[in-house]
Structure 1
Amino acid sequence: MPASSKRVTAADVARALGLSRATVGFVLNNTPGQTIPEKTRQRVLAEAERLGYRPNHAAQALRRGNTRLVMLLMPDWPVETSLAGFLDEVSFRLDQAGYTLVTYTRRAGDRARPLWETLHPDVVLGLGELDEVSVRSAKVSGAKVVLTQSIADSALTAAGARLQVRHLYERGHRRLAFALPEDRRLAELAATRCEAARRAAAELGLPPLDVRSLAAGDDTAARAVRQWRDAGITGVLAYNDFIAALAVGAAVRAGIGVPTSLAVIGHDDAPFGQAFVPALSSVRMGIGELARYVADLALHGLGHTGTAPAPLVPDFRIVHRESS
């Protein structure tokens, strides 16, 4: 039959077969409790296939009263290794309960209508704060629950930074620096980690941290390592492993020994850190624990569990390698 951009509906199948729309609807929706002859059922299925009928999932969801979708509202962060692992684990846990995870990043100045108004998820789960307008919009769109859980707060960011400070302090380093990313999307999270490191250093009686931003593709890292060397800095806490790699690479190129003259420790324990030369010391976070907690928050909101999961701070631990 000629190609057409018009969506084939159950009414089209019924018209082609000379059957009632109700009969065709019962077959296509596999409605229980109906006594439709098997021969008729097979005719309906064959004609639906011939015409190119595809179910309207949105309409089916409207009839059921749910879409089996959980929307995770993401901060405007780059999807790095740790975040990708987190999303994989949340998705897996929700899938086991019969739900599909949809991620949605809202950015300042977005002009498009919110995605929840199109997909009508059962739950909108925010990893950051949702403003009142967004909360109302999500609820009007049909979300049964709107949950907010910040993962950029001090509880989740301070623990790793404090471990970084302690790790270098225990190895005899007393003049420390903190290396920030230049990516503005990470500014809030990076500032929180840096402030936690400042406080940890002050508690140990150390001088104020020398804080600098590093970026790929320019000479910020090269300048920073030379200035740290000249200032007597012997230990660098990096926002993450990518920034740690920039610092280590710049130091090696400048002839500054790592870790003999400059020890460096990253954060997040990215897989490439083990293959880097020298291998990067880092902080490993129990990302699976956090992912399961976030998934369980959504499932609790959907009524799958009787009690809300207890708030948690994931386990953090040092992975000691060559760079420190």
Structure 2
Amino acid sequence: MARAAGLSRTTVSYVLNGDFRRIPEHTRQRVLAAADSLGYKPSAAARLLRGARSRLVLMVSPGLESARDTIGGDIVTRLGQLLAEADLHLVWQLGLPSVGRAATDLAPAVVLVAPTEEEAAFADLRRRFAVPVLPAFPGLGGFLAASARAQVDHLAGLGHQRLAFVRPAAPAFDLTAEFRQQAVERRASELGLPAPVILRVDDSRESAVAVLRSLRTRTDPVTSPVTAVCAYNDQVAFALLAAADDLGLAVPAEMSVIGVDGDPLGEWTTPTLTSVRSDTAAFVSDLTSQVVALARGETTTVEARLPEQARVVERSSTVGPAR
């Protein structure tokens, strides 16, 4: 290997063992090119026994076993791509059942965990690992609230007065749904709107139909009827659009619906779905820089944080209320 690269054995050893601090980037690439040409496949276990740094980044996400989150999936996918460019490997583990074994069997360099630093689960996970542990989604509360505020602002701007917030019934969504519900209620209050109606929907079509039927038949002598729905995310919004079709309820003429996540499938629904999207590119870049530095034993001043801005992707499922 050293002869093929035209370098010393020490230099080659540093590169293959992941010690990037001592070697210029062009030299590292020269070694990697030689290794590739020779078909060299390093043994991770042997490297660790020799005291080399692990190249594995472990993400642990308890509570997300059944959560469907387009934005979260996009973040993890892009993070994995950027870490791979830095010669690190992301492993995503859903749930906690074998997290203790993961700590020893995988020997990660850095661990990312779904719980925020304010949650007891974060402290518990930090105790389980002898390597740096970071929140995978820092600033989650502000991030979730931003999308909820954008929903309310959009609907209020169209002239809607009485809103509903429909959240998933599954316990796996409780934490994030609570953040969004509180943000919807708070923003409605700030705009002088009546308190939103809060409803839960499970994974069945019948449940979505029941939710819309209850809104359609709701009688309230004090306030105006519900004319628009803030869905927890696009999946909930898709269910409501299907239920509206079953009931013969015209969207958006009789009921406007807005989702969250900007799922590409929103372009294919009837009507097309208005949604809210946040740009997470800068966050993923910052998180990658932070993780790479820690994995290499370096210090960094970069502090990743999810954005607290969101924009509405306006399509056909929202219009002003009928007069």
1:318 corresponds to 2:305: no
Q: Deviations over 1:280-313 (max 9, x none)?
A: 0000111323322322221232345642235452
Residue type at the aligned position of 1:81: T
Residue of structure 2 in register with 1:113 after alignment = 100
Residue of structure 2 in register with 1:307 after alignment = 301
Residue type at the aligned position of 2:111: V
Specify whether residues 285 and 131 from structure 1 end up closer, same or farther in structure 2 by C-alpha distance, changes over 3 A only: closer
1:181, 1:239 within 8 Å by CA — same for their partners in 2? yes
Cα distance in 2, alignment partners of residues 307 and 211 from structure 1: 42
Runs of 4+ in 1 over 4 A off after TM superposition: 149-152
Q: Deviations over 1:239-285 (max 9, x none)?
A: 00110111122112211111011000000011111111110000011
Residue of structure 1 in register with 2:186 after alignment = 199
SS, match of residue 167 in structure 2: strand
Unaligned runs of at least 5 residues, structure 2:
1-6, 12-38, 219-224, 319-323
Q: Map of 1:21-100 to 2, 5 A cutoff?
A: 32=9, 56-77=43-64, 78-100=67-89
Q: 1:229 offset after TM fit, Å?
A: 1.8
SS, match of residue 50 in structure 2: helix
Cα distance in 2, alignment partners of residues 95 and 60 from structure 1: 18
Specify whether residues 227 and 83 from structure 1 end up closer, same or farther in structure 2 by C-alpha distance, changes over 3 A only: same
Q: 1:59 offset after TM fit, Å?
A: 2.1
Unaligned runs of at least 5 residues, structure 1:
1-29, 35-48
Q: 1:65 offset after TM fit, Å?
A: 2.5
Residue of structure 1 in register with 2:255 after alignment = 262
Q: 1:32 offset after TM fit, Å?
A: 1.5
Q: 1:131 offset after TM fit, Å?
A: 4.2
Specify whether residues 313 and 209 from structure 1 end up closer, same or farther in structure 2 by C-alpha distance, changes over 3 A only: same
1:241 corresponds to 2:234: yes
Residue of structure 1 in register with 2:34 after alignment = none
Residue of structure 1 in register with 2:321 after alignment = none
Q: CA RMSD in A?
A: 2.7
Cα distance in 1, alignment partners of residues 123 and 234 from structure 2: 36
Cα distance in 1, alignment partners of residues 60 and 99 from structure 2: 15
Q: Map of 1:277-296 to 2, 5 A cutoff?
A: 277-296=270-289
SS, match of residue 219 in structure 1: helix
2:249, 2:255 within 8 Å by CA — same for their partners in 1? yes
2:59, 2:113 within 8 Å by CA — same for their partners in 1? yes
Q: 1:73 offset after TM fit, Å?
A: 2.0
Residue of structure 2 in register with 1:10 after alignment = none
Residue of structure 2 in register with 1:185 after alignment = 172
2:162, 2:194 within 8 Å by CA — same for their partners in 1? yes
Residue type at the aligned position of 2:126: V
SS, match of residue 100 in structure 2: coil
Q: Deviations over 1:217-247 (max 9, x none)?
A: 2422112112212232100000001101111
Q: Percent identity?
A: 30
Q: Which has the higher contact order (CA 8 A, sep 6+)?
A: 2
Given candidates 101, 108, 111, the residue that maps to 2:90 is: 101
Cα distance in 2, alignment partners of residues 313 and 147 from structure 1: 17
Compare CA radii of gyration and give the structure with the larger one. 1
Q: 1:147 offset after TM fit, Å?
A: 1.9
Bigger CA drift: 85-94 or 258-267? Answer: 85-94
Residue type at the aligned position of 1:217: S
1:58, 1:67 within 8 Å by CA — same for their partners in 2? no
Q: Name the TM-score, length of structure 2 as normaliser.
A: 0.77
Cα distance in 2, alignment partners of residues 236 and 278 from structure 1: 15
